[in-house]
Amino acid sequence: MRPQSVMRGSKMSNYLDTDKSIIISAPAGSGKTEKLARRYIALLQKGVDVERILAVTFTDKAAAEMKQRILKILREEDGELFVKLLDKMPLMRVSTIHSFCGTLLRRFSFEAGIDPNYKVEDAIDSRIVWEDILFEILMDAGKGKRGHDLFIQTLSEKGFRGLDYLRGTADYLYQKTPFSIEAETFRHDPAEVGELIEELRAWPGVEEAFSGYTGLFEKGALQDMASFEKFFLTDRKEPRKRAVPLLKEIPDYRGWASKMHIYWKEKKTEEFVERTERIKEIFRICLEKYTARKKSKGILDFSDLEYLAYRMVTENPEWANILYAFDEKTDHLLVDEFQDTNNFQWAIVDKLTEEWRAGFGAKRAEGIRPTVFFVGDEKQSIYFFRGANVEIFRRAREKFEAWLGDEFCYEEVKENYRSLPAIIEFTNHVFSRIMDRAGRNFPW
C-alpha cells in the first residue's frame, strides 16, 4: 500500500486542519512522518509562507528525508505549488533541534556570552575527547591525586574490572549531562536493626548452628553487608544448608527475614548512593576539564547547544526580545519523533510557544492563528535515548488541552501497515503490562 493511499484511507482527518494545534500518538509503520509532511503541505496550500513554518526532527538524515518527502508529494499532487516552492527551497526551515538551537545562539551570541564563530563538535569527536579526559583523571587518581581513595577501594574489591566500573559509571553520568543525577538515600533506625539482631540471637540453637560466626552477633558486626552475606549465604550466594532447617524451626521466621531483607536492601542502597556521590566527584573533575578544553578550542557539543539555548529563552535578561524575534518569523511549529524529546528541548519549545498557547499576542491581533503539530510514538521512547522522557508527551498534551480547548486536538492512531499481526499483538501485550505497573493509561 502506497503511503498516499494510507493517508487517504486513514480515519485521521484532523491532522490537515491547519487551524488546530495537534498532537498525534502513532505506532511505527503508521505513517507518522507522512502525516507531518502533508500537514506542512496543507499549510503551504493555505497560503502560509514557507519561511514561517519550522519543522524539527532529530537527525540530519531525517531532516533531509523530510524535505524530499514534502517535495515528492507536491511534485506528484500539486505541480503548480511545487514549482513555486523550488524557488524558495533555501528558505525551508526543516532542521534538527540542535541546528535550530545553533541558529538561535548565533543570532544572539552576545546575549548568550559565546563566540559567534564557534564550531559544533559532532558526537563522535565529543566522545573521543571525553574518553581521553576520563582516562587522564582515572590515571591521576591512581597516582594519589583527587579520587585516590575511591580508585584504590574499587580496584581492591573488583580487581582490574574496577577500572571499567568507574569508567562506566562516570560515562553514564556523561550521557545524562546536562541533566541532573539525583539519588535517594534510605535511612533505617539503628535501634530497630539492633532489635532484629537480638531477636535472631534469642532463637534456640542459633549460636551453635553458626558456631564459626558467633562474632557476627557482636555490636555493629551485621552492619557489614559482606559479613551478613557470609552468615546466611555461601560464596555462590546460595542459602547455607545448616541455615535452612534452623530457620524453619523459628516461629515467624519469614516475618523476621522480610524485615531484615528490607534493611539489607536499604543498606545496600545507602552504600551505592555513597559510592555514586564519590564517583560524581570524579565526574565533576572530568566535566570541568572537558568544558575547559572545549572553551579553549572554541567548540560546543550538542548538549551545550541545548543547555545554552534553554538558558537564553528562560533566564537571559533579554529573553523577551529573543522570544519576540522567534515569534516574528514563525507561525507554525512541527516536531517529528516527539517521543525523543528531552527535558531541555521541551522547555525550549514550551517557552517559544507560550504566547501561542495563551491565545493572545500580535499574531492574534493580525488574524493569524499559530499552531503546533507534534507526532511520535510513546512506545519508542526507550532507555532515555538522548535523555528522552516519555512523560513529556503526556505533559504537552495536558498543557495544550488546558490552554487551547477546542483549538487543540489529540489523536491516537492504532493502525500499523508495516508489521505482521502477531508482532503487533506481542508488542501491545508487553507494553500494556509495563505501563499498567506505572499506573498509567495508554492507548495500547
Q: 259: Cβ–Cβ under 8 A, 6 or more apart, which residues?
A: 196
For the segment 201-221, the average pLDDT, to the nearest whole number, is: 49
Distance from C-alpha of 347 to C-alpha of 121, rounded to nearest angstrom? 23
Nearest partner of 267 among 256, 275, 278, judged by Cα? 275
CB atoms within 10 A of CB 112: 20
User: For residue 293, what pLDDT is reported?
Assistant: 86
Q: Which cell numbers in the block locate residue 444?
A: 495500547
Q: How confident is the model at residue 155 (pLDDT cuts 50, 70, 90)?
A: very low
Q: How confident is the model at residue 225 (pLDDT cuts 50, 70, 90)?
A: very low
DSSP string, 99-161: HHHHHHHHHTHHHHTS-TT-EEPPHHHHHHHHHHHHHHHHHHHHTTSTTHHHHHHHHHHHTTH
Highest mean pLDDT among 51-60, 224-233, 284-293 belongs to 51-60
Contact 15, 334 (CB under 8 A): no
Q: 313: Cβ–Cβ under 8 A, 6 or more apart, which residues?
A: 104, 319, 322, 323, 348, 351, 352
Of residues 134 and 15, more confidently modeled: 15
239 forms beta bridges with 233
The domain ranges of the chain are 3-116+303-437, 120-185+271-297, 190-266
Q: What are the pLDDT digits (tens) for 110-132?
A: 999 898 899 998 877 887 887 78
Q: How confident is the model at residue 158 (pLDDT cuts 50, 70, 90)?
A: very low
Q: What are the pLDDT digits (tens) for 266-325?
A: 666 666 666 666 666 777 777 788 888 888 888 998 889 998 999 999 999 999 999 999
**pTM exceeds 0.85, yes or no:** no
Per-residue pLDDT for 363 more than 50?
yes
Highest mean pLDDT among 86-95, 237-246, 265-274 belongs to 86-95
- Please tell me the CATH code under which domain 3-116+303-437 is placed: 3.40.50.300
Nearest partner of 45 among 7, 82, 76, judged by Cα? 82
Residue 251: alpha-carbon gap to chain centroid = 48
Distance from C-alpha of 300 to C-alpha of 118, rounded to nearest angstrom? 7
